[in-house]
Structure 1
């Protein structure tokens, strides 16, 4: 990314250019990204190709003013952080499902970020409802965050893996071996095409709000969650009403309402 692209990205998320790649700067950028760039899987249902190439990901977030799912969001955010002087490592994870079962290999992408002040962080702007701020990578105790109480602990696998927990519930198992963007292509393809992937079974568009709550549009159901966790949902009617919510609440301009692809049922979770 050149300086013009970095400036455009920072304007996209409403963040100032940090003076140095510090921990405070990382926390501010992480929260700004979550507030501005929605977690969404609309490309799957709009028939748009998902390409895991740095420039394509940045263009989608910045130029097209869209969001994405983990590979896209963390891929683009990692590129921004690296351009700003942070040391960024891509890590692969497998998400915990029902009864402790794991998702596929390369099920999820997260970022290990080293700052100029020598701190090590787990950054993740691509897991939907998760931590608002990066987590201290080496900390094994509880870490309080507006998104919940988090903990990173040694996994029982004995392979050096780490389990990331939220409010006592395992979220994903993280490998610490460095990866490159292309390693995640198969996972992105599977989640985009497989009938077994929950991303193909439902529509979601969600982001954190300025007051620490969350707004989510799932199909035609619009849910506002306040900072205390109280939810209020409403059903949208005409297509124009749905498109207006995408445009006015998420900054996403569409020419048609996305619909779940034929052959996919509602998600199990």
Structure 2
């Protein structure tokens, strides 16, 4: 596990400020759940995450991406704590610990940082100052919103350990009721928009909200995973529990 190689993976330097590290990570390491649909185990220990994201140049979902990023930040001398969250959707929130985010102390000030939320990047946001992206919620939690006000997740502020997230991560990656097991997804910001593969369908969203959808052939899909997201696959992911 080499810090220099990790920084090279995201195109960053050890002296870069926190906002630059977050932005570089978001734009180079895709949010993806492909391992679930390729029969690969989801393992959250730092060495396994480093191998997947840096050595094999893959991505992951929140528990993986923020778990790996937390290791990098600690190696760079920052104080990092894992935080749990419930994700907003359809007018309600998921179970606790469905999402993992980071509390990062930067220049003595605690910030929220998140490179693993598939809808939008988060941070760094000062946790000690008012912000339109952080709205006080019940029980001392915070509702985290996108820069445009889109609901994201309800954040707990007490520290969590990696082991706390393992049961929920296992459920998300195996259970038929989990959306993650129904559709293979790979996504990255592109310019002021976003590119997303859902199985063999390529979705592009521009900054103005314009959305296009293109169904690709098998080889075209493999090429898109490689060319748009840097993910080299020898076969297409097959949905673990296809949506009905």
The TM-score with structure 2 as length reference comes to 0.94
Give the alignment's Cα RMSD to 1 decimal.
Answer: 1.5
Distance 1:174 1:48 in 2: 29
Unaligned runs of 5+ in 1: 20-24, 143-150
Distance 1:94 1:172 in 2: 5
Q: Aligned-pair distance for 1:130? A: 1.3
Residue 220 of structure 2 aligns with which residue?
A: 241
> 1:139–1:152: 8 Å Cα contact kept in structure 2?
no
Distance 1:236 1:35 in 2: 23
> 1:41–1:203: 8 Å Cα contact kept in structure 2?
yes
Residue 233 of structure 2 aligns with which residue?
A: 254
Residue 94 of structure 2 aligns with which residue?
A: 103
Residue 167 of structure 2 aligns with which residue?
A: 186
Residue 13 of structure 1 aligns with which residue?
A: 10
Q: Aligned-pair distance for 1:10? A: 0.4
Q: Aligned-pair distance for 1:132? A: 5.6
Residue 153 of structure 1 aligns with which residue?
A: 135
Q: Aligned-pair distance for 1:42? A: 0.3
Distance 1:231 1:186 in 2: 35
**For 1:189-268, what aligned pairs fall within 5 Å after superposition?**
189-209=170-190, 211-237=191-217, 239-261=218-240, 263-265=241-243
Residues 192 and 119 of structure 1, relative CA distance in 2, 3 Å threshold: same
The TM-score with structure 1 as length reference comes to 0.86
Distance 2:131 2:53 in 1: 34
> 1:31–1:132: 8 Å Cα contact kept in structure 2?
no
Distance 2:94 2:122 in 1: 24
Q: Aligned-pair distance for 1:103? A: 1.1
Residue 110 of structure 2 aligns with which residue?
A: 120
Residue 142 of structure 2 aligns with which residue?
A: 162
Distance 1:79 1:32 in 2: 16
Unaligned runs of 5+ in 2: none
Q: Deviations over 1:167-218 (max 9, x none)?
A: 4443211111111111110011000111111101111100112x23211111
